Amino acid sequence: MTTPVKPEQQQKRRLTAPGRKTRERIVEAAAELMFRHGAGGTSIPDVQAAAGVSASQIYHYFGDKQGLVLAVVDHQTDAKIAQQRPLLDNLDSIEALREWCDGAGDRLDAAGCEGGCEIGSLASELADRDQSARTGLAAAFDRWEAPIRSGLARMQARGELSPSADTDALATALLAAVQGGMLLSQVRRSSTAYRQAVSSVIDHVESHLVR
């Protein structure tokens, strides 16, 4: 069964090398602006100035601002997942889960717990306002959650996790702890809330280990 190709993926395949570089420059500039000022606080002229392009180039590559926002969602998702590799691809032990979550906590501390999550910030702003963006963000979180589910499923297949453990629910709970913990840490300017939230969920996962 073949995976359907999105229209934006088809467009990227048709672009020349200079065209791809220009498109990437626009998306990167827009992503940085939207992370700092929100999608609503970022205008097309803002992106023009930051990327050094014309308005016609932005409309050529993205159609409209909504198209640009969706491209930013994809870009931030790709960047977030790439940032967490190879740990994200090997979440099939309690130790690996803790190492992965600790790494995110260390990055929070390094940033002074400012800024929040790039995907979570967009979701908070757009989920109730833009159906297309909400759908794209839901897919982004699914992509992020998938490696957690896969890792837990491998543990269960090896007989390490109890057959009664709901690995899908545990994966969702851990991602929810990551997101909620990051938000509280951003507000409180301390990674303590994040570390407590993810540790509690991992402890719960550990309670399902076959002794």
Residue 50 has φ and ψ, to the nearest 5°, of -70, -35
Query: What is the rounded average pLDDT for all residues in the chain?
Result: 90
CA R_g for the chain: 19
Q: Which CATH number fits domain 7-75: 3.40.50.300, 1.10.10.10, 1.10.10.60, 3.30.2400.10?
A: 1.10.10.60
Three-state DSSP class for residue 163: coil
Q: Domain spans of the chain?
A: 7-75, 84-206
Q: What is the pLDDT of residues 145-183, one digit of tens each?
A: 999 999 999 999 999 999 999 999 999 999 999 999 999
Residue 26 · residue 53 · CB < 8 Å:
yes
Q: For the whole model, what pTM was predicted?
A: 0.82
Token pair of 87 as six digits: 């740990």
User: For residue 30, what pLDDT band results from cuts at 50, 70 and 90?
Assistant: very high
Distance (Å, whole) CA 144 – CA 117:
13
Per CATH, domain 84-206 is 1.10.357.10: yes
Token pair of 21 as six digits: 């570089």
Query: Is 156 or 15 the better-scoring residue by pLDDT?
Result: 156
User: For residue 203, what pLDDT band results from cuts at 50, 70 and 90?
Assistant: very high
Q: What is the pLDDT of residues 100-142, one digit of tens each?
A: 999 999 999 999 999 888 898 999 999 998 888 999 999 999 9
